Amino acid sequence: MTDLVPALLGAPRFLIGPARTRADHDRLRRRVFVHEQGLFTGSDLDDRDDDPRTIVLEARDPGGAFLGGVRLGPATDGPDIGWWQGGRLVVDPDVRGAQRIGPALVRAACAAAEQAGALRFDATVQVRFKRMFERLGWDAVRPVTVAGRPHHLMRWPIGRIAALAAATKNPLGGLLGGLDPGGAGFVGDDGAPVPGTDLIAACDAILPSMVERDPEWAGWCAVLVNVNDLAAMGATPVGLLNAVGARDTSAASKILAGLRAGARAYGIPVLGGHTQLGVPAALSATALGRAARPVPGGGGRPGHRVRLTADLGGQWRPGYHGRQWDSTSGRSPEELRQMQGFVAAAQPAAAKDVSMAGIAGTLGMLAEAGGCGAVLDVATVPRPAAASMGDWLTCFPGFAMLTAGPHRQAPAGPAVTADCGELTTGSGVGLRWPDGDVTEALTGPVTGMGAAA
């Protein structure tokens, strides 16, 4: 049966992968860009070729003959901020056209850039190739001049942030219509003031697959996400209730071990709850806190500066690379409580803890609750060295708070704070880059729940 596969599908005409050596790509570039097209004199090599982060993808036929290549890598010196650039796309003149090697290399470069965590991917192409890039889904940005010849700046639309918002938050407005969660002034907050009291209530459920796969971590996270919700509203935690479902006592004991460890670390007593055995894995928790003056998520207004306060310590949680950053399990109770008290001490106009929607999506939620839009200055976002910008802006970061508007100076323990954007008129979230360009991350409201006021 295996022998039928080539007969049915046909042998591949070429294969694309990382370059074995850059020598073949360099030779073909010189042949085409220097000798054939006369774009450069002597050599087309530049500083991007010297950057060790630069990647070259190559196309070879089944016999190993080099057919073409393309390079890509970070567009700026210094730390990789998620702005990548493709270039030096070249195909051997003897095989141009019929096999569509060039478009295949472009598609491969787009996939490689996104896999590397890029949130902006540009290419400067000769005008005669502009239409080809548009057919491949690229956006035309503006005309530019390279080597004295007309070119066009093209941009590959990366929808990673929008896709996360669509999967996690976009349906909420329709689902929660008529419930008015949080009450007037607090619609869209993860915690809700209890009418007639100074109590704040918050509730979160943990993904069943995570409870099944990593029960102790799930128990810890059930505490973590709830105390983060309280902390974002400036509340001091006073108690936790939990509901646990597990297939047997062994699984339940692991979940509860994580809950106990988290409760001790954060200084929040477990008041009670419900446990059921012989059922699929499930875990949810409800936390109560006190705040005399709750900080709303919707208190921001156009013109307010946006700050991110985040704990950059730790590492990716094993098994959740690119999705869950774990700084909290390595912190002392004192460090955790210092971070949790930041919003209460700072008293900003608006605050929201970063959770499922990631930093960019959560900023969109904060802006939506305030009836405005937002711009994030990508290069100023505090970020761990081990996280790509794409991963960091879309992951669950352990402890991270977005705040906006006037605030007091306040300690945040080991977390760092940076001014990294502003609220604007309109809606959605834009990413602003060092060259001044703004790319769309979210084109409109995140939840559809509307402004809080």
Residue 5 banded pLDDT, cuts 50, 70, 90: very low
Q: With cut-offs at 50, 70 and 90, classify the pLDDT of residue 7.
A: very low
pLDDT for residue 406 is more than 80: yes
Is residue 12 very low, low, confident or very high in pLDDT (cuts 50, 70, 90)? low
DSSP 117: T
Mean pLDDT of 353-374: 96
Rounded to two decimals, the pTM is: 0.93
Confidence of residue 30 (pLDDT cuts 50, 70, 90): very high
Q: Collapse the DSSP code of 354 into the 3-class scheme (helix H, G, I; strand E, B; otherwise coil) and give the result.
A: coil
Q: Look up residue 213 and give its two tokens.
A: 């796969």
Contact (CB, 8 A) for 393 and 358: yes
Share of the chain above pLDDT 90, in %: 91
- Could you please state the CATH topology (level 3) that the domain comprising 4-158 is classified under: Aminopeptidase (3.40.630)
Q: Which residue is it, tokens 């970063």?
A: 354
Picking from 220, 298, 301, 297, the residue whose alpha carbon sits closest to that of residue 254 is 220
The CA-based diameter of the chain, rounded to the nearest angstrom, is 80
- Fold designation for 195-293: 60s Ribosomal Protein L30; Chain: A; (3.30.1330)
pLDDT single digits (tens) 252-261 = 999 999 999 9
Give me the sign of the Cα torsion angle 441, 444, 447, 450.
positive
Provide the angle, in degrees to the nearest 10, between the axes of the packed helices 249-266 and 215-232: 30
Q: Which helix (H) or strand (E) holds 241?
A: strand 236-246
Nearest to 88 by CA among 46, 138, 128, 127: 46
Report how far apart the first and last C-alpha atoms of the chain are (Å, whole number): 66
Question: What does CATH list as the number for 161-189+296-453?
Answer: 3.90.650.10
Query: Is residue 295 within 8 Å of residue 233, measured between CB atoms?
Result: yes
**Pick from 424, 351, 360, 347: which is nearest to 392 by CA?**
360
Buried-exposed string 414-425: b where 16+ CB fall within 10 A, e elsewhere: ebebeebbbbbe
Residue with tokens 């896999």: 115
Per-residue confidence band for 181, with pLDDT thresholds at 50, 70 and 90 = confident
**Closest of 228, 231, 216, 263 to residue 341, by C-alpha:** 231
Torsion angles phi and psi, residue 63, rounded to 5: -85, -5
pLDDT at 43: 95
CA 361 remoteness from chain centre: 8
Q: Are 386 and 394 in contact (CB under 8 A)?
A: no
Q: Which of 5-14, 17-26, 165-174 has the lowest mean pLDDT?
A: 5-14
pLDDT above 80 (res 6):
no
- Residue 8 confidence class, pLDDT cut points 50, 70, 90: very low
Task: State the angle between helix axes of 333-340 and 249-266 in degrees (0 to 180), rounded to the nearest 10.
Answer: 70
pLDDT grade, residue 232 (50/70/90)? very high
pLDDT band at 50 (very low <50, low <70, confident <90, very high): very high
How is the chain split into domains, by residue range?
4-158, 161-189+296-453, 195-293
Residue 10 binned pLDDT confidence (cut-offs 50, 70, 90): low
Kindly report the average pLDDT of the chain as a whole number.
94
